[in-house]
Amino acid sequence: MTRPADHREVEQALLRDGWSRCGAGDWAIAVHAPHVARLAGIIREVHERARRELPWCGPLDHNPANVMRAADGRLVVTDLFYADGPNLYSTAATDPDRVAELIPEDERRFLTGIPLAASGPWDPADRERVRAGLAAADARRRGEGRR
C-alpha cells in the first residue's frame, strides 16, 4: 500500500509543476497556479488599456460569481469589465457632443436601453432627452464632416 503524501511532498510536486509559492505559515503553505497568474496579468493589462482609452471605464468587477468552471472543468471568467454608467449617462445628458465625439454612433446605439444597476430603468422622458441630445450631436458632427 502506498502511503499518502504529506504537505511537504505536495508542495514540492506543485512547485515542480510550475506553481509559485505565495505564502507560508507554521502549519500551512499557499501556492498559486501559473495559469491563474497569467490570467491575472492579462486582466490587469486589458483593464489598464481600457482605463487609458475609454473615458467611462469602471473598476474591475470583483463579483466572485464572475469566476466559474466550464463543463470540461476549466476555470473561466466573464463580465469583469464595465462602464461607469452614472458618469457616462450624466455626461450624455449634459454634454452629448463629448459623448458623440468619444463613442461612435454605431457603438452606442443601445446606450439608453441599459438600466443602471443601482437605479433600475430610466424615466422615459429622461431617456428621450438623452436620445435627442445625442441625435442632435451626431447631426452636428455629420454637418461638420466628422463621424
Q: Is the pLDDT of residue 1 over 60?
A: no
Per residue in 26-59, pLDDT tens? Answer: 667 777 777 777 888 888 999 999 999 888 898 9
**pLDDT at position 94, please?**
96
Q: Give me the pLDDT at residue 147, please.
A: 67
Higher pLDDT, 62 or 95: 95
Looking up cell 459623448 gives 99
Q: 25-42 burial string, b = 16+ CB within 10 Å, else e?
A: eeeeeebeeeeeeeeeee
- pLDDT tens-digit profile of 64-122? 888 888 899 887 888 888 888 888 999 999 999 999 999 999 988 888 887 766 666 77
Compute the C-alpha angle 68/65/59, nearest 5°: 115
In this structure, what DSSP letter does residue 76 have?
A: E
For the chain, domain boundaries? 1-32, 35-82, 85-143
pLDDT at 13: 85
Distance CA 29, CA 8 (A): 9
**pLDDT value for 4:** 74
- Supply the pLDDT for residue 24: 76
